[in-house]
Structure 1
Amino acid sequence: MDSALTTVGLPIALAIIMFGLGLSLTPDDFRRVGRHPRAVAVALACQLLLLPAVCFGLVKLFDLPPLLAIGMMLLAASPGGTSANLFSHLFRGDVALNVTLTAVNSIIAIVSLPVITNLAIAHYDQSETVSLQFGKVVEVFAIVLVPVAIGMVVRATAPGFAARADKSVRIGSAVILAVLVVGILLDRREDVGEYLADVGLVAALFCAVSLVAGYVAPKALGIVEGQAIASSMEIGVHNATLAIFVAVEVLEATEISIPAAVYSLFMFVFAAAWGSAISRRVGARATTAA
């Protein structure tokens, strides 16, 4: 991608998105973990344990090239995105749980993202080509967490402004991600057909499995419907912008960002379709019960 987009635009884009997340957070969102420990624990277990395992199985099954495989694992390690809250709201999920999961998972990712990504780099013996060093990790999450903290301060001191800005920032976040995806695909346009052939099916399957597993696993463990929907959206709608930022700015390998870009092409369509399917099923069940 163009250097101005990567060195200036990408960090600013990520900061805006995380500031928007901060506008939706209050300290009570973190305290809510103690009030709903089971739902939070199940969702985080899916996010931190199940997703990387599923993703690793897919990249091995389809024998992805090393850098694309690392990109998929980086995506799997990325926390839920702010758009998960919107999808949860649209399809009757517990939005408060979404906000809590996004907040907690973004902090946990300070440790889990570099661990999972470095394990993938080591597995594919790419440490001489790319590396995620601790100092760079600190820089990444300063860019992630500082805007969140600023957004929370704005929410606490100027709640009216935060409420008015929330919708605009959410729309802006979606536009920013779209621009990033287009920029990446244009930058690699000579190879984009090959990349789509290599990683398109894997990304689509991973997206579908993430959404379904994020709903089925909590339901199987007795989590209520609204919280299961929230979990599904949180697990299926990743912070692709963060994955792209780490790939391009930290690992300095645009090819590693390709899976996140391709995943984004499926993510919103699949989340909308899955949410609609769940809503219809829940509505039909409610009608039958009545």
Structure 2
Amino acid sequence: MGLPIALAIVMFGLGLSLTVGDFRGVVRAPRAVVVALVLQVLVLPVIAFGLVKAFDLDPLLAVGVMLLAASPGGTTASLFSHLFRGDVALNITLTAVNSVLAAATIPLITNFAIGHFGAEGELGLQFGKVVQVIAIVLVPVVVGMAVRSRFAGFADRADRPVRVFSIVVLASVAVGALLGERENLGEYVRDVGAVTGLFCLLSLTIGYVGARVMRLNEAQAIASSMEIGVHNTTVALTIALSILDSTEVAVPSAVYSILMYLLATAFGFLITRTSAAQAPA
């Protein structure tokens, strides 16, 4: 019970950082938003599916990777984008839109994976569980936005504590998920570490290269890369542990939550240095 409440607080904090104006970014930069969302919502699950098939993962681990692919970008993506001079406004818009879309995309993609890989047990996201996903992902965001619209000062003061709380929750849940499977941990990390690491690198690369191919500017490409590569793994972990009641399904997200910080940092330094080297003197 405590984990869904913790996630609801995290999502409420996300809502405190958003305004209706953030969604207007779709109108201000429609091509950038559409390109990033297509890459994240449509292309990313296809890549995850291909990796899972290539590595021939255990069904529950395969479902976990697909659930990870369906999870939206996190607020941390905006921090990485700011660090590497990306378009932070685009990140905020993408996070806002994707947090709404996730209420539908997570059940669709997860149920597809459960059916395709033949995961055993009552693992599906039936109607009642879909309502739970909406309740812990979408509703707190809307409530947070409503609070911000009325009490902007409180929202600003709460921003830092909620971010700290979010990091603590993520770390606690990731470690808990890994310890919950400690008997098989070495095997899982060996199997899922390669898949999740490669998935993270591909996500970051496709977010950047795809944006540049579609003629978005450098700042927008960096924002797209970080938004697509840095997931809100707390959402995936909570759904795996509390709604699907499967520690094994949570393992890929737990491993990814550690790897993504290292890989996103390295990738950010790589693309900024490459861009600086290519800039005209």
Give the TM-score normalised by the residue count of structure 1: 0.93
Structure 2 counterparts to residues 1-290 of structure 1, below 5 A: 7-8=1-2, 10-126=3-119, 128-286=121-279, 289-290=280-281
Over residues 214-266 of structure 1, what are the superposed CA-to-partner deviations in whole Å (9 max), with x where a residue is unaligned?
01001011001111111111100111111111111111111100000011110
Corresponding residue SS for 1:252: coil
Runs of 4+ residues over 6 Å off in structure 1:
none
Aligned equivalents of 1:171 and 1:276: distance in 2? 24
Please tell me the root mean square deviation across aligned C-alpha atoms, in Å.
Answer: 1.4
The CA distance in 2 between the partners of 1:207 and 1:176, in whole Å, is 21
d(CA) in 1 for partners of 2:223 and 2:213?
Answer: 15
3-state secondary structure, aligned to 1:11: helix
Inter-partner Cα distance in structure 2 for 1:193 and 1:127: 23
CA distance in structure 2 between the aligned counterparts of 1:111 and 1:54, rounded to whole angstroms: 19
In 1, the alpha carbon distance for the partners of 2:263 and 2:43 equals: 19
How far is 1:88 from its partner? 0.9
SS in 1 for 2:24: helix
In structure 2, C-alpha distance between the alignment counterparts of 1:31 and 1:127, rounded to whole Å: 43
Give the distance between the partners of 2:53 and 2:274, measured in 1 at CA.
34
Which amino acid in 2 is paired with 1:85?
S
Alpha-carbon deviation of 1:157? 2.0
TM-score by length of 2: 0.96
Aligned residues of 2:103 and 2:138 also touching (Cα < 8 A): no
Identity of aligned residues (%): 60
For 2:272, give the aligned amino acid: S
1:199 maps to amino acid: V
Structure 2 SS opposite 1:131: coil
CA distance in 1, matches of 2:257, 2:165: 15
Give 1:127 deviation, angstroms.
5.9
- Match of 1:153, as an amino acid? A
Structure 1, gaps ≥5 residues long: 1-6
| Aligned counterpart, 1:4 | none
Secondary structure of the 1:191 match is helix
Alpha-carbon distance in structure 2 between the residues aligned to 1:20 and 1:282 = 34
The answer for unaligned runs of 5 or more in structure 2 is: none
Instruction: Give the aligned length.
Output: 281
The alpha carbon displacement at 1:135 in A equals: 1.7
Q: Report deviation, 1:81.
A: 1.0
